[in-house]
Amino acid sequence: MMSTLRLMLAKSAAAVLVVGGLAVPAQAQSQPSLNLSGVTGLIDMPSGEAQPDGYLSFAYGKMGGIGRNTLSFQLTPRLSGSFRYVGIQRWNDRFCPPDCSGVNGFNVYYDRSFDLRYKVLEETRYLPAVTIGLQDFIGTSLSMGEYVVATKSFGPRLKVTAGLGFGRLGSYNSIGTIFGKRDRVDFGNGGLPNYDQWFRGDAALFGGIEYQLADKWTIKAEYSSDAYVTEARRREVFTRATPFNFGIEYHYSNAIRLGLYSMYGDTIGFNVSANLNPALRPQGGVRGVGPVPVLPRPSISDNPTLWTTAWLVQTDSRQGLIDAMNAKLVRTGLRVEELSLAGDTAQVGFRNTIYDASAQAVGRIARAMTHAMPASVETFEIVPMVNGMRAAKVVVRRSDMEALEFVPDSGAAMRARVAISEAGAPLGPVTRPAGVYPRFSWSLAPNAQTMLFNPNQPFQVIVGARLSGTFEISPGFFLSASVNKRLGGDVISGRNGVGSKVPPVRSDADIYFDRGDPSVTVLTAAWYGKLAPEVYSRVTVGYLEQMFGGISAEVLWKPIDRRWALGAEFNYVAQRDNDGGFGFDTYDYRVASGFVTGYVDLGKGFEAQVDVGRYLAGDVGATFTLMRTFANGWKIGAFATFTDLSSKEFGEGSFDKGIKMEIPLSWFTGHTTRTSLPFTLRPLGRDGGAQLYVDDRLMQTLRSYDTRHYEAQAGRFWK
């Protein structure tokens, strides 16, 4: 029976991979589904397809007491990555008692893993889509496996998949060893790539079919090459009676899919998956106050008095010009902060509190200037002000605005006429609106702190409120404070006597969350300025974050028209008491840390960052970060930190790594705002590779004000 089945699958694989003249052309198919492991696949096996470029996927699959939570991201059209958190129930039933120690001490065993998939071949008329995958490639080896898999569409409804698996995907009905022996894995503290194991050892075939019954219904059948050696044989979590799985899936919407399955002849499985396209807003476009129209000037022959330049020597008229512009901007979230004049040129420095696209903010300032500026002013120099710093200079000719407002593709036409450069100095004496400094602002908002992957309580959310205030004394000089108060959620420690062997610069976070209620999280004074053209600086002093206080200084060289920037930061801090107050006595720990940082724009929305220096625990090394930014402000990426700490010194996980996301609030609400929700997903919060948290680092605040970012949003000049 098994030899016959292997022969049938081998023939199926050959039919898919070497498609002959009977193959039908590839046709439009529904979006590829996610399997129980949260990656593109059938039921429990992967497929050769990929999700659409940029899609973010969330999935929860469960069968036989095994629950999998997976976050996946299609980084490029061919490359995707996944992070998975698995919980296996009844883990110690067979062994405890009498042996309830070590790994047998868990009734529910939790495991983290990362996957990578690369589609080496796109589906064509005669060839299938082919993907190579690494499963749990830097984990504990519980889920470790590799595969090569192909999927071919036959008509608009039928898909056939065949693949070859290694590791746990080669554990059932092996056809032999192809690339050599697979040695036993010594994963130590986990978290390190087991590259010497990849595609080695027993190999086994897997495959299946998927048929779309109707627009919203799909049926699947597959043959699995996963023997579930640990879960089914050793731990007896469930019984694996057959290698066959069957299921039906319901497409609730384009984004959500539900599945119900018969798994391995013994148990029922289900899957809930959601696909999210960060490039599309659920509310459609962004709503907000409309811009004022361009006000054309009358010709000089019709009204020569409006073209006089006599107003230039009337210094009291400048305040009136600022007031007139601010009156047009009163509901837009933009505010003129300074004005300087020279001949037929007016330069306006403005503050942007709402628009995530610099081009849109510049366009609205320019429109307001057509209403306020005398007709003799032909050139508008528009300067974004960021924390009191002049970030760039956008030069717009007034006659271009009058001519291009209603032409086809007006955004591209205007971009061709706009010049962007380093801000430089004001044109002359600067006039500021009355009462702009000092200025006080405050907010009271909900606050949530998360603690993830604690083996005693994997998902903890501490809900509270944050009271924040900022006092701007003068341009670039700020006093800031924030206080957190917990309103709900208990802190459950995940300490089991095993951790890093270095100072607890982050691993005591649960103690700070528990004892610091309320807590003064920030109490600082900060200075921002420009040391030279394209060279920016920051100095922040005080209680910088919940766990550390001291001084942080930074300098950034950021050419306005280059793809790269270079920064340096120095910090000298002491660890704060964990009661949320003002003391430093509990830990008596002080450290000097700092980094040299390189930033590179790789194009197509990808940005890389490398930090080299000394971390909070005194370890020395480098952090590598790769982020992808979408046009609507979504940012998704990953980071990894390698220092001189050994994996044993670091503790479980071996080195710091994780996923970063930043979601613009406008994506949810559909209203203009610069506010975003940052989120870092770390498999483990250890002390090695820990950096200081400081508000408003220079690159963070200045990133969107350069030539590249302006051009990416140039079409929103007229919005």
**Which CATH number does the domain housing residue 342 bear?**
3.30.300
* Nearest-angstrom CA–CA distance, 482 and 480: 7
Residue 315's CB is within 10 A of a number of other CB atoms, namely 11
Tokens representing residue 311 in the block? 């107003």
Q: What is the pLDDT of residue 334?
A: 93
End residue of a domain, out of 420, 435, 450: 435
Do residues 474 and 409 share a domain? no
Identify whether the C-beta of residue 685 lies closer than 8 Å to the C-beta of residue 507. Answer: yes
Q: What is the pLDDT of residue 34?
A: 97
pLDDT band at 449 (very low <50, low <70, confident <90, very high): confident
How far is C-alpha 489 from the geometric centre of its chain's CA atoms? 26
Do residues 316 and 416 share a domain? yes
* Nearest-angstrom CA–CA distance, 529 and 592: 23
Do residues 128 and 164 share a domain? yes
Q: Does the pLDDT at position 14 exceed 70?
A: no
How far is C-alpha 236 from the geometric centre of its chain's CA atoms? 38
Q: What is the pLDDT of residue 188?
A: 57
Beta strands at 564-575 and 109-121: parallel, antiparallel or unpaired? unpaired
pLDDT band at 704 (very low <50, low <70, confident <90, very high): confident
Q: What is the pLDDT of residue 455?
A: 65
Segment 690-698 mean pLDDT: 95
What domain range includes position 398?
Answer: 304-435
Q: Which of 93, 203, 185, 182 is nearest to 142 (CA)?
A: 185
Q: Does the pLDDT at position 12 exceed 70?
A: no
pLDDT band at 206 (very low <50, low <70, confident <90, very high): very high
Is 310 buried (19+), middle (13-18) or exposed (0-12) by CB count in 10 A? Answer: exposed
Q: What is the pLDDT of residue 425?
A: 93
Identify whether the C-beta of residue 451 lies closer than 8 Å to the C-beta of residue 513. Answer: yes
**Strand positions, DSSP E, 181-303:** 202-214, 217-223, 244-251, 256-263, 267-276
Do residues 415 and 445 share a domain? no
Q: What is the pLDDT of residue 301?
A: 78
Q: What is the pLDDT of residue 283?
A: 66
End residue of a domain, out of 382, 400, 435: 435
CATH code, 63:
2.40.160.40
Identify whether the C-beta of residue 629 lies closer than 8 Å to the C-beta of residue 643. Answer: no
pLDDT band at 513 (very low <50, low <70, confident <90, very high): confident
Residue 588's CB is within 10 A of a number of other CB atoms, namely 8
End residue of a domain, out of 435, 470, 496: 435
Residue 281 inside a domain? The answer is no
* Nearest-angstrom CA–CA distance, 710 and 717: 9
Q: Does the pLDDT at position 492 exceed 70?
A: no
- How many structural domains comprise the chain? 3
Residue 331's CB is within 10 A of a number of other CB atoms, namely 9
Output the CA–CA distances (angstroms, integers) from residue 227 to 14, 63, 70, 358, 413, in the order listed: 24, 14, 21, 55, 62
Q: What is the pLDDT of residue 533?
A: 93
* Nearest-angstrom CA–CA distance, 218 and 102: 43
Do residues 596 and 672 share a domain? yes
Q: Does the pLDDT at position 346 exceed 60?
A: yes
Q: What is the pLDDT of residue 19?
A: 35
Do residues 398 and 449 share a domain? no
